[in-house]
A and B are shown apart, each in its own frame.
Chain A
Amino acid sequence: MMKTLKKLFLLQLSVLMAVCLTACSGGKSGGSTEDPSAKTVKIGVLVSDTTSAEALAFRTYYKDYIQSVYNVEFMYSDELKDAAAEQSAIDNFIANNCQAIISFASADRPAQIEKCEAEGVYYAVATGTLPADQYEKYKSYEHYVGAIGPDLPTEYQAGYDMAKHYLDAGYTKFGLFTGASVYFTEMHIYRAAGMLAAMCDAGGGSYAGKTGMDIVGQIMADGGNVNPGKIGNIEINGVVAGYDFDDAWFGKLAAVANDPNVEVLMAVGSGQTAFAGFKPEGKKLGDIDCYTKESVELMESGTLDYLAGKFSASIGPAFAATLSAVYGKPIRDKDGNALALAQGYWVATSAEDAKKYYEVDSSTTNPAYTKDMLDTLIGASYDDFAKFVSAYSFEEIKK
Chain B
Amino acid sequence: MKLEKKLAGTLAVPVLVLAVCILLSVMKGVVLFDSVLSWTTFIRAMTNIVLVTFALSINLNSGRFDFSIGSVALLSSIISAMLTTRFGLGPVGMLLISVISGGVLGLISGVIYVSVKLPPIIVSLAVALFYEGMAFTLTDGHGVSFANNAELLGFGTIPNYLLIIAAALAFMVIVFDHTRFGYEYKALLSGQKVAVSTGIREIPNAVLCYTIAGLLMGAQGFVSATNNGAITMALNFGSISPMFMAFLPMFIGGFIAGIPMKNSVIFWEHFPQP
Q: State the A residues within 8 Å of B (CB).
A: 50-51, 53, 56, 78-79, 245-248, 250-251, 253-255, 258, 272-274, 276-278, 292-294, 297-298, 301, 303
Contact = CB atoms under 8 A, between A and B. Distances in A.
Interface in B191-227: 227
A51 B232 contact: yes
B141 A277 contact: no
Interface in B19-48: 35, 37-38, 40-42, 44-45, 48
Contact of B228 (A255, A273, A292, A301): A273
A3 to B, nearest CB: 64
A53 B228 contact: no
A303 B148 contact: yes
Interface residues of B, number: 28
Contact of A250 (B38, B41, B140): B41
Contacts of B45: 246-248, 251
B182 interface: no
Interface string B106-141: 000000000000000000000000000000100011
A247 B41 CA distance: 7
A92 B7 CA distance: 61
B35 A276 contact: no
Given A56-B142, A251-B45, A255-B38, 10 more contacts: A51-B141, A245-B232, A251-B44, A273-B145, A276-B147, A277-B153, A292-B142, A293-B142, A297-B148, A298-B148
B236 interface: yes
B235 A51 contact: yes
A258 B37 contact: yes
A247 B44 contact: yes
Contacts of B260: none
A38 B148 CA distance: 49
Given A250-B228, A272-B147, A276-B229, A50 B44 contact: no
Interface of B: 35, 37-38, 40-42, 44-45, 48, 136, 140-143, 145, 147-148, 153, 227-230, 232-236, 245
A247 B223 CA distance: 11
A374 B230 CA distance: 36
A255 B148 contact: no
Contact of B142 (A53, A255, A277): A53
Contacts, number: 78
Contacts of A294: 142, 145, 147
Given A50-B141, A297-B148, A277 B229 contact: yes
20 contacts: A50-B141, A51-B136, A51-B141, A51-B143, A51-B232, A53-B142, A56-B140, A56-B141, A79-B236, A248-B41, A250-B227, A251-B38, A251-B44, A251-B45, A255-B35, A255-B37, A273-B228, A277-B228, A301-B148, A303-B148
A50 B235 contact: yes
Contact of B227 (A272, A277, A292): A277
A51 B143 CA distance: 8
B232 A273 contact: yes
Contacts of A258: 37
Contacts of A272: 145, 147, 230
Nearest to B225: A277
Contacts of A277: 147, 153, 227-230
Given A272-B147, A298-B148, A278 B228 contact: yes
A245 B225 CA distance: 12
A337 B113 CA distance: 58
Nearest to B35: A255
Contacts of A292: 142
A32 to B, nearest CB: 44
A258 B48 CA distance: 22
Contacts of A254: 37, 40-41
A354 to B, nearest CB: 14
A246 B148 CA distance: 21
Closest 9 CB pairs of A and B: A251-B41, A277-B228, A247-B45, A277-B229, A276-B147, A51-B233, A294-B145, A277-B147, A301-B148
Contacts of B233: 51
Given A56-B140, A258-B37, A51 B234 contact: yes
A272 B232 CA distance: 12
Contacts of B35: 255
Contacts of B140: 56
Contacts of A298: 147-148
B45 to A, nearest CB: 4
B37 A253 contact: no
Nearest to B145: A294
Contact of B236 (A78, A248, A278, A301): A78
A303 B41 contact: no
Contacts of A250: 41, 44, 227-228
Given A50-B235, A78-B236, A79-B236, A253 B143 contact: no
A78 B136 CA distance: 14
B53 to A, nearest CB: 14
Contacts of B153: 277
A116 B147 CA distance: 43
B148 A79 contact: no
A251 B41 CA distance: 5
Q: Which of A79, A247, A278 has the most CB of B within 10 A?
A: A247
A72 B228 CA distance: 40
Q: Which of B142, B145, B236 has the most CB of A within 10 A?
A: B145
